[in-house]
A = this chain, B = another copy of it.
Amino acid sequence: MTGNHAQLRQLGLSTGKKARLHRILYQHGLGNGKAMFLPYDQGLEHGPRDFFANPAAADPKYIIRLAVEGGFNGIAVQIGLAEKFYWDYAGQVPLIVKLNGKTEIPSDDYALSPFNATVEDAVRLGADAVGYTLYIGSPAQHEDFTQFMTVRRDAERLGMPLIVWAYPRGTAIEAKGGKDSFYSVHYAARIASELGADVVKVNFPKPDKRTAVPAPYDGEFTNQQAIDAVIQAAGRSLVLVSGGEKAGDEKMLEKATESMRAGAMGLIFGRNVWQRDHDASLRLVGQLREILAQHHSD
């Protein structure tokens, strides 16, 4: 039995959640308990400007096909695309319905990501998980936490795994070192775990962003130390590390390796994957799969 098989049994999950996570982790992708997800909510979060680098990527069909071809463990989309595009490929790749989202247009100072779908929508569409963006540290956190509670309870009731996009955001975060600091990502992973995430998606922390962060984060930490701590802070919530903005491949693969070494359940890379042409995307995916394969028995 791999570490992850054991891990699933230790999470205190309901039958439905365990069945769906098992399907994602052992019946798709490498099938070894390590996973790679394709997020495709940028059309809402950033707008279609993200698709100019590779215009084909503006078409949800193209992306879903890419997820199937690349052997992803899941694709995360908003409700509108799930309803109109997933049915062609239903069952071929697990569906994660993203339940909230916002645009990049108004200020992020009081960031709050409102609902646009429910766990019941996800059940209706045959999804295997739902996603929720929680803006850690936002002045609007009281609305966010309460929103989140309703998702957590619905997900519990319906046996649906709950993935939390744990994103530090807002004026107070900016005043304490910014959204990528070790302090804020570390805290974010812990909060997702405290509030009941089954899986938590974090950005790779930048321990060298030390201006204005509280002690002890103003000390020196390596990337590996930081990602180790973040994954440990998530406790029994499984961790996905995000690719973020498109960056140099070498650096990105290095972070992916560090993440898996630290015990992440997997990777969730979007723009890094589809902001290049089709074949280049699949080549990168191949490299990521290799990293996953190396770490599956950790």
Query: Which A residues fall within an 8 A CB radius of B?
Result: 11-12, 41, 43-44, 47-49, 52, 58-60, 78-81, 83-87, 100-103, 105-107, 112-118, 121, 136-139, 141-146, 148-149, 152-153, 168, 170-173, 176, 183, 186-187, 190-197, 214-217, 229, 232-233, 235-237
Contact = CB atoms under 8 A, between A and B. Distances in A.
Contact of A49 (B107, B172, B173, B214): B214
19 contacts: A12-B83, A12-B84, A12-B85, A43-B191, A47-B187, A47-B190, A52-B216, A58-B233, A80-B235, A101-B194, A102-B141, A105-B141, A105-B168, A105-B172, A105-B187, A106-B139, A114-B141, A114-B142, A117-B196
A85 B146 contact: no
Contacts of A171: 106
A103 B141 contact: yes
A193 B80 contact: yes
A228 B48 CA distance: 13
A79 B156 CA distance: 12
Contact of A84 (B103, B146, B152, B235): B235
A151 to B, nearest CB: 11
A193 B137 contact: no
A236 B88 CA distance: 13
> What is the copy number of this chain in the assembly?
5
Q: Which of A52, A112, A117, A195 has the most CB of B within 10 A?
A: A195
A118 B52 CA distance: 38
A116 B148 contact: yes
B105 A145 contact: no
Given A190-B48, A195-B78, A197-B80, A116 B145 contact: yes
A136 B102 CA distance: 10
A196 B139 contact: no
A195 B49 contact: no
